[in-house]
C-alpha cells in the first residue's frame, strides 16, 4: 500500500534497545506506518514483536493508535491481537503483538497463484474475521494481500486496522485517496464517507480471492475480469460467486462473507471433487451458523417458530457429538450402511443454514390502448366536458376467485361519450340509393327473339335496391340520424406461477425441497424495494416484471416462501476429505458411497448370485 508523504523520524541509536518492559532485538520488517522488531518481555521472559511508529504527524499517530486499539479490543482467532501499546520517551508510539510465524499473503502471491484449497481456506478465515468485525460495527477498509498474514499452520490472520472505520474513530477524510486506495478497494470507497458499509470489505475480499485464484491483480472496477475457467476449468462454477462479490452495486454483493463462503463451497464441491482436499477449516471440529441473506433483510416476516427450531436443531448438531450420535443411529437403521459411522469418521467442520424456496403467484391484467367505437344514437345531444377517466382507474367487475383468468372483453370508459349528427345522412336518416342514383327506377336490357331475328329492348323497372323509393335507410346510423362515439378498451386477466430457490448446486435439491416448510405467505408489491434486497427474490421479481408493459400490469402478487434447515458436515474417512448433508427436521442424510458398507454389500451380492445359480441348477436338474 502506498504511504502518505509525511516526514519520517530518525530512529534512536542502536544501543538504546530498551522500550518500557521490553528488550528490542533485530529489526525484522517494516510496513507503511511502523518498523517491526523482535523483542522480549523483561518480566515475563516471553518473546513478542514490537511495532514502532516511524512516521510523524497527528494523522499517522491517530491511525497507529486506532490500529492498536481495535486489534486489542476485538479478539478473534483470525485477527492479529495487540497485547500492549503506548508511548516511550526514546522510541515514541509502539504496540506489541505475539511473535506470529507467518508471511504476508503478498509474498506468497509474488510466487504465483494460490492453490484453490488453500485460497478458499484463506478466504474463509479472513471472511470470519470480517463478519465478526462487522457485527461489532467496524469496517476494515483496507483488506488486501499486504494486510493478510498466512501462518505455517495455514491459518490466515487479518491485520492493518489503521484505516478502519468505527463510530468513534478519527476523521480520516483528509487522507489523499490516491495514496491509500488499492486495486482491491470497492469503487464507491471514499474516506469522506461517514457511514461506510460492510459491502466495502466484501468487495475487497472478493478482489483478494480473484488475485489468489488467477495470480493477477484485480482489474479496475467496471472492467471485465478474467474468467476463472480460463485459469482452471474446475473453477468455472465460482465465476458467478466472484462476479457478485465484485459487483459495482453494493446492494448486489453478499451481505456477509459467510454467505459468500457457503456459495463457494456449493459451486466448487462438484467440480473440485472429493479428493481435492477442499475444506474451509481443518483440525478440530469447527461449527458455524450461516445466516441466509433473506433472514437479514426480512427477519420480521419469516415464521419465528421455524427460525427458533432451526437454530435449536443446529445447536444440537454443532456439538460434534450430536452429529456422531445421528450418524450412528442412521447407520444402524439399514444393513447396507457402514457400521458405527459416527465413531469411524473424523469430523472437521459443521455448517448449518436454512435454504429457501420461493413461489410467486402473479395476476397480469391487460387493458389495451382505448379505441373509439361508434353506434347509432337518436337521443338528446351528449358531450361530456369532463376529462376521460384513465383506463386503469375504470372499475371492472371480475370473478371473486384470486388469480382467476378472465377472457378478453370490451369495457367502455365512463364520460367518454360524445353524440353527433351522422355525417353520411346529415341527420336525415336516409340516403340516396346508390344503385338508381335517387331515380327510383333502373333500365334493364332484355334480348327479344322474333321471326326475323333477335334484338335488344330497354325496359324501365323499379329499383330492386330501394323498391322504387329512391332513398335507403342510412346504414351508418341505422336510420337514427345520429351517432354516439365512445372509447373502449379490451380487458383480460391471466395468472402465472414463478419459482426460484437459493443456490442448491452440489446439493440434493429434491430431497431438500421435499422437507421444506412454509414460513411466509402474503400478498405483496413486487415493486417494493424491500423484497429486492435478497438476490433470489430480486431474480424472481425481475423475471415476473419483464412481462409488464404499457398495457399490462401485475395487479395481484402472492409470495409463498418455504424453507428447509440444512447442515453440511465436512469429515475425513480413511484419509480422504468428504462431505455429507443433513436435511430437514427429520435429519435425512445424503452423501457419497463412503457412507455404505461396501464389504457387506459385496457379500450380500455374492450370496444373491449363489442363490440364483443354485436355483437355476435345481431347475435344470428337475427338468432333466
Q: How far apart are CA 1 and CA 520, in angstroms?
A: 48
Residues 72 and 114 in one domain: no
The domain tally of the chain equals 3
What does pTM read for this prediction? 0.58
Q: How far apart are CA 238 and CA 277, in angstroms?
A: 17
In a domain, 451, yes or no: no
Q: How far apart are CA 264 and CA 254, in angstroms?
A: 12
In a domain, 244, yes or no: yes
Domain boundary among 220, 244, 273: 273
Residues 140 and 264 in one domain: yes
Q: What is the model's pLDDT at position 65?
A: 92
List per-block mean pLDDT (blocks of 10 residues) for the chain, which spans 624 residues: 37 64 90 90 91 87 92 92 91 92 92 90 93 92 94 90 89 74 88 85 95 91 82 86 86 83 76 45 60 81 94 87 85 71 78 93 96 90 74 88 90 89 93 92 86 83 92 94 93 95 84 96 92 86 94 96 93 79 92 68 74 82 68
In a domain, 430, yes or no: no
Residues 116 and 77 in one domain: no
Q: How far apart are CA 132 and CA 93, in angstroms?
A: 27
**Dihedral sign from CA coordinates of 514, 519, 523, 527:** negative
Contacts 24+ apart (CB under 8 A), 600-607: 600/335, 600/336, 601/336, 604/335, 604/336
567: nearest Cα among 502, 500, 507, 490: 507
Residues 190 and 299 in one domain: no
| CATH number of the domain enclosing 91 | 3.30.200.20
In a domain, 506, yes or no: yes
| Cβ contacts of 44 within 8 Å, gap of 6 or more | none
Cβ 290 vs Cβ 352: under 8 Å: yes
Residues 192 and 54 in one domain: no
Burial 531-560 (b: 16+ CB within 10 A, else e): bbbbbbbbebbeebeeeeeeeeebebbbbb
From residue 257, how far is each of 206, 225, 317, 570 by CA, in Å? Answer: 9, 20, 22, 19
Residues 42 and 191 in one domain: no
Residues 90 and 110 in one domain: no
Q: How far apart are CA 406 and CA 400, in angstroms?
A: 11
Answer left, alpha or beta for residue 606, where phi above 0 means left and psi between -120 and 50 means alpha. alpha
Residues 93 and 106 in one domain: no
In three-state secondary structure terms, 17 is coil
In a domain, 76, yes or no: yes
Q: What is the model's pLDDT at position 598?
A: 62
Residues 318 and 375 in one domain: yes
Residues 290 and 237 in one domain: no
Domain boundary among 97, 117, 145: 97
Q: What is the model's pLDDT at position 7?
A: 36
| CATH number of the domain enclosing 207 | 1.10.510.10
Q: How far apart are CA 411 and CA 318, in angstroms?
A: 62
Residues 236 and 154 in one domain: yes
Q: What is the model's pLDDT at position 387?
A: 72
Domain boundary among 223, 250, 273: 273
Q: What is the model's pLDDT at position 8?
A: 41
Instruction: Please name the residue ranges forming H helices in 405-523.
Output: 509-513
Residues 173 and 145 in one domain: yes
In a domain, 393, yes or no: no
Instruction: Please name the residue ranges forming H helices in 144-256.
Output: 177-180, 199-214, 228-231, 239-245
In a domain, 620, yes or no: no
From residue 276, how far is each of 206, 214, 272, 347 by CA, in Å? Answer: 22, 18, 6, 17
Measured in whole angstroms, how far is the alpha carbon of residue 457 from the centre of its chain? 91
In a domain, 119, yes or no: yes
Find residue 522's DSSP bridge partners.
559
Domain of residue 528, residue span:
286-383+403-422+480-591
Amino acid at each position: 500500500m502506498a504511504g502518505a508523504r509525511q516526514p519520517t523520524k530518525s530512529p534512536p541509536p542502536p544501543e538504546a534497545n530498551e522500550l518500557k518492559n521490553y528488550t528490542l532485538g533485530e529489526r525484522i520488517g517494516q510496513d507503511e506506518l511502523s518498523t517491526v522488531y523482535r523483542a522480549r518481555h523483561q518480566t515475563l521472559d516471553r518473546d513478542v514483536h514490537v511495532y514502532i511508529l516511524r512516521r510523524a504527524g497527528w494523522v499517522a499517530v491517530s491511525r497507529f493508535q486506532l490500529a492498536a486499539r481495535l486489534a486489542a479490543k476485538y479478539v478473534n482467532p483470525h485477527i492479529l491481537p495487540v497485547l500492549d501499546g503506548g508511548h516511550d520517551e526514546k522510541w515514541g508510539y509502539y504496540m506489541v503483538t505475539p511473535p506470529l510465524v507467518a508471511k504476508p499473503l503478498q509474498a506468497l502471491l509474488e510466487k504465483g497463484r494460490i492453490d484453490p484449497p488453500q485460497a478458499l481456506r484463506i478466504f474463509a478465515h479472513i471472511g470470519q474475521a470480517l463478519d465478526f468485525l462487522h457485527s461489532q460495527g467496524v469496517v476494515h477498509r483496507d483488506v488486501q494481500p499486504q494486510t493478510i498474514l498466512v501462518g505455517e499452520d495455514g491459518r490466515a490472520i487479518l491485520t492493518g486496522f489503521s484505516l478502519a472505520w468505527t463510530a468513534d474513530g478519527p476523521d480520516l477524510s483528509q487522507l489523499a485517496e490516491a495514496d491509500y486506495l488499492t486495486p482491491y478497494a470497492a469503487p464507491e470507497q471514499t474516506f469522506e464517507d461517514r457511514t461506510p458499509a460492510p459491502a466495502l470489505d466484501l468487495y475487497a475480499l472478493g478482489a483478494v480471492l480473484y488475485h489468489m485464484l488467477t495470480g493477477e491483480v484485480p482489474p479496475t472496477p467496471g472492467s471485465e475480469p478474467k474468467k476463472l475457467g480460463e485459469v482452471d476449468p474446475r473453477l468455472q462454477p465460482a465465476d458467478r460467486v466472484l462476479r457478485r462479490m465484485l459487483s459495482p452495486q453494493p446492494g448486489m454483493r453478499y451481505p456477509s462473507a459467510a454467505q459468500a463462503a457457503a456459495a463457494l463451497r456449493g459451486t466448487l464441491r462438484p467440480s473440485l471433487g472429493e479428493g481435492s482436499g477442499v475444506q474451509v477449516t481443518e483440525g478440530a471440529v469447527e461449527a458455524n451458523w450461516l445466516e441466509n441473506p433473506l433472514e437479514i433483510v426480512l427477519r420480521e416476516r419469516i415464521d419465528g417458530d421455524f427460525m427458533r427450531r432451526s437454530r435449536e436443531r443446529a445447536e444440537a448438531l454443532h456439538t460434534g457429538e450430536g452429529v456422531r450420535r445421528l450418524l450412528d443411529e442412521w447407520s444402524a437403521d439399514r444393513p447396507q450402511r457402514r457400521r458405527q459411522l459416527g465413531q469411524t469418521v473424523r469430523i472437521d467442520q459443521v455448517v448449518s443454514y436454512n435454504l429457501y424456496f420461493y413461489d410467486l403467484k402473479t395476476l397480469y391484467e391487460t387493458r389495451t390502448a382505448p379505441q373509439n367505437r361508434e353506434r347509432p344514437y337518436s337521443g338528446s345531444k351528449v358531450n361530456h366536458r369532463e376529462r376521460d377517466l384513465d383506463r386503469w382507474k375504470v372499475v371492472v367487475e371480475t370473478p371473486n376467485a384470486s388469480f382467476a383468468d378472465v377472457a378478453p372483453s370490451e369495457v367502455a370508459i365512463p364520460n367518454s361519450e360524445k353524440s353527433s349528427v351522422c355525417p353520411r345522412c346529415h341527420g336525415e336518416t336516409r340516403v340516396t340509393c346508390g344503385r338508381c342514383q335517387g331515380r327510383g327506377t333502373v333500365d334493364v336490357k332484355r334480348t327479344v327473339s322474333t321471326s326475323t331475328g333477335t334484338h335488344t329492348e330497354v325496359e324501365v323497372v323499379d329499383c330492386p335496391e330501394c323498391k322504387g323509393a329512391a332513398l335507403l335507410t342510412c346504414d351508418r346510423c341505422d336510420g337514427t340520424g345520429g351517432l354516439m362515439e365512445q372509447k373502449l378498451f379490451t380487458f383480460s386477466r391471466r395468472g402465472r406461477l414463478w419459482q426460484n430457490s437459493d443456490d442448491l448446486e452440489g446439493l440434493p435439491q429434491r430431497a431438500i425441497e421435499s422437507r421444506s416448510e412454509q414460513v411466509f405467505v402474503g400478498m405483496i408489491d413486487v415493486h417494493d424495494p424491500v423484497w429486492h434486497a435478497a438476490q433470489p427474490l430480486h431474480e424472481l421479481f425481475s423475471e415476473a416484471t419483464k412481462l409488464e408493459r404499457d398495457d399490462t400490469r401485475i395487479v395481484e402478487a402472492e409470495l409463498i416462501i418455504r424453507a428447509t434447515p440444512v447442515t453440511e458436515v465436512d469429515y475425513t474417512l480413511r484419509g480422504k476429505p468428504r462431505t455429507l448433508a443433513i436435511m430437514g427436521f427429520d435429519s435425512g442424510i445424503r452423501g457419497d458411497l463412503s457412507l455404505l458398507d461396501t464389504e457387506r454389500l459385496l457379500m450380500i451380492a455374492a450370496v444373491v448370485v449363489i442363490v440364483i445359480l443354485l436355483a437355476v441348477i435345481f431347475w435344470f436338474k428337475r427338468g432333466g
